Amino acid sequence: MSQCANIKRFKGSTKPYQIVIKKNNVPTNINGWTFYLTIKTQPSDSDEDAVINKKVTEHPQASDGIAQFDFDSEEVNLSGNYFYSIDFKDNEGNQDVLFFGKIKFISTLRNERN
């Protein structure tokens, strides 16, 4: 079941974004699953025009159901509002959208990061 969730992140934040997959409140082993994070200016933009388009197939904590998206500071050097979705494809070929909504990148009060 897809869930609409709006997200706020700080501009330039390299903190990983994690999601936990559970069934009946028990973590699901996601070994062999693929997760996709797509961030676009407009929902109608092509995937090639996405500002961020990540595909994750390696899950160090797969047995705990944890998928993680890592970022470098350049790719999240964004400001303002965007649209996102997190999709998956499991090891049996099932696929769906897990989360979707708006993501807002906000500036920090501190300008220097040295």
Count of structural domains, the chain: 1
Q: Has residue 112 been placed in a domain?
A: no
Task: Tell me how far CA of residue 42 lies from CA of 47, 78, 83, in angstroms.
Answer: 11, 14, 6
pTM: 0.87
Q: Has residue 94 been placed in a domain?
A: yes
Q: Has residue 113 been placed in a domain?
A: no
- Residue 59: give the domain boundaries: 3-106
Q: Has residue 111 been placed in a domain?
A: no
Tokens of 97: 């959208």
pLDDT tens digits in sequence order for the chain, 114 residues long: 567 788 899 888 889 999 999 999 999 999 999 999 999 999 999 999 999 999 999 998 999 999 999 998 888 889 999 999 999 999 999 999 999 999 999 987 776 655
CATH number of 75's domain: 2.60.40
CA dihedral sign of residues 1, 28, 37, 71: positive
54 class by beta-carbon count within 10 Å (0-12 exposed, 13-18 middle, 19+ buried): middle
- CA 99 – CA 88 distance, rounded (Å): 10
Q: Has residue 114 been placed in a domain?
A: no
